[in-house]
Amino acid sequence: MDPGDHRRIRALIQRELGITLGEDKSTLITSRLRHLVEKYALSSMDDYVDWLESHRDAAALGELADAISTNHTFFYRESAHFECMAQRVLPEVVERLRARNRFDLRVWCAASSTGQEPYVLAMIIDELLRNEANRWRAGLLATDVSQEALDVARRGEYAADAVSVLPERWVKRYFEPIDEGRMRIVESLRREVTFRRLNLMRPSYPFQSRFDVVFCRNVMIYFSAEIRRAVASRIYDVMSEGGYLFLGLSETLERGATEFRFVGPGIFQKPMRSGSVIAGEE
């Protein structure tokens, strides 16, 4: 396959999915997309790009996203963030809402992959609010561009080994064994998470109410600096004042190019007009 083929497919992947693949990723592109080239009886990557350009529909792009995106995730990944969420961010946000007599907490997990991350967030929320469950509407929206990842997430079935990293009380409360070596998230928790397909490259995000907490971890690493800035700015627009954004521990926002306030590694806050930070940090 000549390099011209890969330039075009790389440009299309960046434009449609945000994912920036360097010239050194030719082998990866070929191996991940070969089955699609064959599925449509095309003879080259170049023909596949032509085919995609003429079928720019959600299904064709969805297949491309499934093939090209890296869905690697695991329970309790970058656990410091979940601890910060449970011990500091969520209690603070809940207190603020309570003080305003608003009992609707809104959390968005924006690159939820196969579900491990949003389910842990649902566990943290449930643990904090379970005694007042009747009072609160705690919506957790989990989105990803990959339909295949969302299908796995909705099933909520995982290898028991992968689940065992979680605190034992969560395993007992939120999982049921299904067969040898596999466990499923209990239905009551699965119901708390709404999974939807959403491409972060959309020009704006289609939400009516604002989010108090957004997790968008380990996806910005695939984006260029320009796309990262644009995505962060669109996320900012759908967050409530004082709301918290979690990126991956190794991901950051350029100071000066964002209105978010830096809180800690991978943690940012949308400022409140009156000013509010987690005590002891800034």
Among 6, 18, 156, 220, binds ligand SAM (CB under 6 A): 18
Instruction: Tell me whether residue 18 or residue 243 sits nearer to ligand SAM (CB atom).
Output: 18
> How many residues interact with ligand SAM (rule CB under 6 A)?
24
Shortest distance in whole angstroms from residue 282 CB to ligand SAM: 25
Residues in 78-97 at the binding interface with ligand SAM, rule: CB under 6 A: none
Residues in 123-162 at the binding interface with ligand SAM, rule: CB under 6 A: 144-146, 149
Is residue 218 part of the contact set for ligand SAM (CB under 6 A)? yes
Instruction: Tell me whether residue 242 or residue 248 sits nearer to ligand SAM (CB atom).
Output: 248
Shortest distance in whole angstroms from residue 75 CB to ligand SAM: 9
- Alpha carbon distances (Å) from 95 to 120, 130, 272: 21, 15, 15
For the chain, the distance separating the N- and C-terminal CA atoms, rounded to the nearest angstrom, is 51
Q: Does residue 270 contact residue 259 with C-beta atoms inside 8 Å?
A: yes
Instruction: Tell me whether residue 102 or residue 196 sits nearer to ligand SAM (CB atom).
Output: 196
Shortest distance in whole angstroms from residue 194 CB to ligand SAM: 16
Shortest distance in whole angstroms from residue 118 CB to ligand SAM: 9
Instruction: Tell me whether residue 97 or residue 253 sits nearer to ligand SAM (CB atom).
Output: 253
Shortest distance in whole angstroms from residue 35 CB to ligand SAM: 17
Shortest distance in whole angstroms from residue 70 CB to ligand SAM: 5
| Contacting residues for 202 by C-beta, under 8 A, at least 6 apart | 234
- Which residue, among 96, 116, 260, 114, has the nearest Cα to 106 in the 3D structure? 96
Tell me which stretch binds ligand SAM (CB under 6 A): 31-39, 46-54, 67-75, 182-190: 67-75
Is residue 201 part of the contact set for ligand SAM (CB under 6 A)? yes
Is residue 217 part of the contact set for ligand SAM (CB under 6 A)? yes
Tell me which stretch binds ligand SAM (CB under 6 A): 2-10, 17-25, 238-246, 257-265: 17-25
Is residue 183 part of the contact set for ligand SAM (CB under 6 A)? no
Among 17, 49, 123, 247, binds ligand SAM (CB under 6 A): 17
Among 20, 30, 70, 276, binds ligand SAM (CB under 6 A): 70
Among 200, 213, 220, 263, binds ligand SAM (CB under 6 A): 200
Enter the tokens of residue 260: 């978010």
Give the 3-state DSSP-derived string for the chain, with helices as H, strands as E and coil as C. CCHHHHHHHHHHHHHHHCCCCCHHHHHHHHHHHHHHHHHCCCCCHHHHHHHHHHCCCHHHHHHHHHHHCCCCCCCCCCHHHHHHHHHHHHHHHHHHHHHCCCCEEEEEECCCCCCHHHHHHHHHHHHHHHHHCCCCEEEEEEEECCHHHHHHHHHCEEEHHHHCCCCHHHHHHHEEEEECCEEEECHHHHCCEEEEECCCCCCCCCCCCCEEEEECCCCHHHCCHHHHHHHHHHHHHCEEEEEEEECCCCCCCCCCCCCCEEEECCEEECCCCCCCCCCCCC
Residues that bind ligand SAM (CB under 6 A): 17-19, 69-73, 77, 111, 113, 117, 144-146, 149, 199-201, 217-219, 222, 248
